[in-house]
Every structure is written in structure tokens, then in C-alpha cells.
Structure 1
Amino acid sequence: MDLVTKTTNLIRGGNRSLNHRKFIAFLDEVNAAYGDLQMHTEIRWMSRGKCLERFFALRAEIPVFLEDTIQCDTSAYCAKLRNTDFLLDMAFLADITSHLNHLNMRLQGRCQTVSDLYAHMNAFVTKLTLFKDGFSADRPNLAHFPSCEEMRKDAPECEKTLPKYRADIETLQQQFKKRFQDFHTMQPRIELFTNPLSAAIIEQPPELQLEMCELHLLCSSRRGHKYLIKMYSLLIQLW
């Protein structure tokens, strides 16, 4: 990410308006996928995903522009931007950051309950398992990592290094489980609130267990809704 930020600033940061205009004209001339780079700021961390996505899409055009237009020495930047291992790392970072941004947007949605947030987190941890399996050595499946899939098509030799990202995904998964472990202690009550009919009776507070037995037995009768209303009124008192 450091090289991406420095290169972006070199082209369009500070008082480099001339370089920026030349870069936009260059991208238009070569019919690039995007018409400009996107700036990244630490304050707006969700911009990281869009910045990486756009930078990766312009990975072929950027070193050409640096060599032809930028007056200072950019040989180190260009060498990196033509290195397959570096580009694959950038592709993985762009894809995983995109997934994290999507989760963040869902968590910021309005009118959500704790059970909704818990469902989003559980879903993402499950997705991480799916992502990790996609980087297996025997049968890689990059359907959810489009930038990595693009790199595999451009440089087939990089496929043998794909399994190394399994460790990164595993670390991310463990971090999520650790940071949100408090949710797991609330799981029985969250399940009771979300779906009382499927919640395990033995895991619930004693004052609710008898009502739940009645509810489970009468759920298909006309009186079942009365027990459900009473159950939620008890939940409100407990919480």
C-alpha cells in the first residue's frame, strides 16, 4: 500500500497539477479502464479499497507514464510495478479490502438490531472459510477474488504461489473471532430473539424455559402467537 500511495501522490498529489493533467490525457489516449487514479487518505480508510482497485486496473499504464513523463528517478517504482509477486500481492489486497469494505457498509446500515449485526459478522467469518478454500493448491477457485483471477490469467506461473494467502485469511478469521468474541457469549439470547422456535430451550434463562416448551408444542395452533407475544414481553423485561 505504501508504494501505491507514493506513486499516486507522485502523479496527482500536492502541486503536481501538470503531471495529473498529462496522466488523464495519457489514460484517455490509451483507452484505459479508468480515467484517473483515486487518492487514499488514512482518515477515510474505506477509500483504500477503491484506490487499490483502480491502481491495479491501471498497473500496465502507470509505469509507462512514469518512465515517459515524470522527471525524477522512478526506476524503483517501475521495477516493482512489473514484478509479478508484487502485483499478485496488490491484487489480493485489493480483493480482500473490497470484501471488508462491503462488510463495513452493511454494519453501518440504519435500523439494525444486535441480531442483524451478529448475522453480518457470522456470515463474513463463514465467507472467510470459503475464501481460504479458494486458495487451495489442488483446486484454486478465485471466483470471489477477481483481481487475483486476472493476475492468474496474465501470469499463469503465479498460480503456484496462491496458497500462501490461506495463512493471511486464517489470521484475519482468527482476528475477527477474537475481536467479536463477546457476541458469542450472547448467542443463546440472540437466537432466542431472532427465532424462538429454533432456540435451544436448555440454553435459555429458567424463567423462559417453560414458556418455550409451551410455544414449541403449540406453534402450529391458533394459540401459538399468544405465547410468542408473551415470550417477547419477557425478553424485553430481561434485557
Structure 2
Amino acid sequence: MTGRVSGLVTRVQNLAPLAKWTHCMIHRESLASKKMPECLETVLKQAVQIVNFIKACPLNARLFSLLCQKLGAEHEQLLFHTEVHWLSRGRVLHRLYELRSEVKTFLVNVRSDLAWYLDDPLWLAQLSYLVDIFERLNSLNTSMQGRDANILLLSDKVSAFVGKLDLWRDRLINKNVDMFPNFADCVQETGINIFPLINTVAQHVEGLKQQFGRYFTEDFSSFAWVRDPFICPGKDLPVDMAEQLVELKCDTRLLDLYSSSSLPSFWLSVMPEYPQLADAAVKLLLPFASTYLCEAGFSKLTALKTKYRNRLQVEDDLGLALSNIEP
């Protein structure tokens, strides 16, 4: 895609030199969260192995469902782990942790060696931490989705998460784990020695920060005036654009427009009066920060193109499905 000689980006820029490209920020977040200490990665693989043992065999899946019904469990099935579904790991681990007692009972009944993992307090504590951290990562992932997302908004969310990683690391140094509720409860229930675990968790948190720093290298501090042109100064702007920014700040009638409309709509509306300033702002806000809109289109198309439809032309139906206008 990004090859310098024959990649798609190069071919496009040969025809349109001013075209810009960016890596989907949601995909980058998913890539940054993959690397973890070996012991935690082993626990993740073993958890997936337990899920696959039950889910991959229809008989085991039915028997486990009946067991959950008999024991009055909140859920009746585990979830499959799918690598291409970025929220999958968090949901799979959370469901497994919720049904850990039922899973242990089932594995003991079928005499599986996998039941040993659920008897190990250290393994359960590591699993509970993975549940908490992936739940946090999933929350970040879902918060970055949406139709009106722009690169400034998503970069703010990533910066906030990196700031939380610093906060969590400092609290871990002080042996405080209350930011990970499942982990804290599991440690309290099992009564295991928390100090070796805290070192592993702190190592993972620090590694996450380094990975996020590797994948998110952009610095948008010089574009603070785009976020709020009435407060933030444009120190690095050329003199003509800086003068337009001063004029815009003093135009009090635009303050109500800024408060009542979205950021792209505001800059598009002031384009006739402040062309250079608005043009620079729109060029920053225009690129897609993620592939959310494309994925939403695929989802709608999948819902439309069922086996009961033999019509190949779905443009009109798809346009209606993707529209914000209620029919």
C-alpha cells in the first residue's frame, strides 16, 4: 500500500501530488496493544485454548450451555476469539472470567487437563488483569469510532490514554491496583503475593506506553488554534494567517456559530471571510482519521446482500441505508 516505487500511495501521488495519506488510528491502537510480556501472552493463549476446547466441539458447547442453565449463570456460552476483530480479545477474556467457576466445573467433569489453569491463583490473577486492561483498550477503541471523528479529536483521546498509562504506572510503583478492579478483587480473594505480579503489570503498562509512542508520532500542538480559534494563539502561523486569526477572534458574531456547530462546519462557514485560515483548518480536518466510515459501509452492505436477494445493483439501497436522513 505504501511502497515508494509501486505502492498505491505512490501511484496516487504521481497523479495528485497534493494528496495526503494517513494510517487508520483505530488500527494503530490495535497494533500497539498486541505486544505484551511473555507470561501474559502465555495466559492469553491458554485462555483461548480453553474457549476453543468448549466452543469448537458442538457437543461440548451444548453440554456447557446446559450446565450454565442448571447453575443459573448470567451467560450460557463463551465467545470465540477472532484475531481480525479488534474488540474480540477483551470480550472473550471478560466472558471467560465471568464464567470461570462454570468452566472449571465443566472441565473437571470431562476430565480435561485444562482445569488445572483455573485452579492456579497466579494464572487467575494474570487473567483478571488481562480482562481489565483489554476492557480499557476496548473502551478507547469504541470511543474512537463515529461518523464525525477527525484527527485532532482522535489524537486527543490517544494522548489521554497515554496519560492514564503514566498514572497507572505511578500507582503500581506504590503497590496500588485499584484502577484494575477485577485484578484487585482476584488478588484479595486468592491472597497471593502481589509483588511479583505488580512488576509484570508495570512492565506491560510501560510497554504499552512505548508502543503507543511508536505508532502515534504526530504532534498537533501547533494546530491548537483549529480546535479553538477564540482562545488558542497561532504563534507559528504566517503573518497573513495570524492577522486573519486576530480578526476572527474579534468577530463576536462567530462565537455563537462556533458554539452551536461542529468544528468542520464552523470552518467551512467562515471560508469566504477568512479563506487562508479556513483552508488550512479544513485540510487538517478533511482526511479520514480512521476506516470507520468504510467499515460501516461494509456492514450495511453485508446486511443488505443476503442469500434471499438476487439483485446485484444495491447502490440506491446502500445510499439509503447509509444516509442520516430518516425516510
Fold agreement, TM-score > 0.5: yes
1:179 to 2:212 alignment:
no
CA deviation after TM superposition for structure 1 residue 66, in Å: 0.9
The whole-number CA distance in structure 1 between the counterparts of 2:132 and 2:254 is 50
The correspondence for 2:189, drawn from 154, 165, 189, is: 154
Q: How does 1:1-239 map to 2 (within 5 A)?
A: 1-13=44-56, 16-70=57-111, 74-75=112-113, 77-138=114-175, 140-142=176-178, 144-164=179-199, 165-182=201-218, 184=219, 186-189=220-223, 191-213=224-246, 218=250, 229=270, 233-238=275-280, 239=283
The whole-number CA distance in structure 2 between the counterparts of 1:92 and 1:58 is 16
Q: Give the conservation status (yes or no) of the 8 Å contact 2:245–2:277.
A: no
| Cα deviation digits, residues 44-70 of structure 1 (max 9, x gap) | 231211100011122223222112125
> Secondary structure in 2 aligned to 1:203?
coil
> Secondary structure in 1 aligned to 2:210?
helix
The whole-number CA distance in structure 1 between the counterparts of 2:209 and 2:129 is 16
> Secondary structure in 2 aligned to 1:34?
coil
The whole-number CA distance in structure 2 between the counterparts of 1:222 and 1:67 is 72
- The letter of the residue matching 1:26 is L
Structure 2 unaligned spans of 5+: 1-43, 258-266, 284-327
> Secondary structure in 1 aligned to 2:194?
helix
Question: TM-score normalised to the size of structure 2?
Answer: 0.61
- The letter of the residue matching 1:3 is Q
Aligned residues between the structures? 225
More displaced, 83-92 or 150-159?
Answer: 150-159
CA deviation after TM superposition for structure 1 residue 179, in Å: 0.9
The whole-number CA distance in structure 2 between the counterparts of 1:159 and 1:21 is 37
Q: Give the conservation status (yes or no) of the 8 Å contact 1:137–1:163.
A: no
More displaced, 49-58 or 111-120?
Answer: 111-120
Q: Give the conservation status (yes or no) of the 8 Å contact 1:137–1:160.
A: no
- The letter of the residue matching 2:221 is Q
The whole-number CA distance in structure 1 between the counterparts of 2:121 and 2:147 is 42
The whole-number CA distance in structure 2 between the counterparts of 1:83 and 1:134 is 26
- The letter of the residue matching 2:168 is F
Which stretches of structure 1, 4 residues or longer, exceed 6 Å deviation after superposition?
A: 222-226
Higher helix share: 1
Q: Give the conservation status (yes or no) of the 8 Å contact 1:193–1:232.
A: no
Question: What's the RMSD between the two structures over aligned residues?
Answer: 2.7
More displaced, 122-131 or 163-172?
Answer: 122-131
Query: Residues 162 and 197 of structure 1: is their aligned pair in 2 closer, same or farther, counting only changes over 3 Å?
Result: farther
- The letter of the residue matching 1:236 is A
- The letter of the residue matching 1:65 is F
Question: TM-score normalised to the size of structure 1?
Answer: 0.81
More displaced, 169-178 or 60-69?
Answer: 60-69
CA deviation after TM superposition for structure 1 residue 210, in Å: 3.0
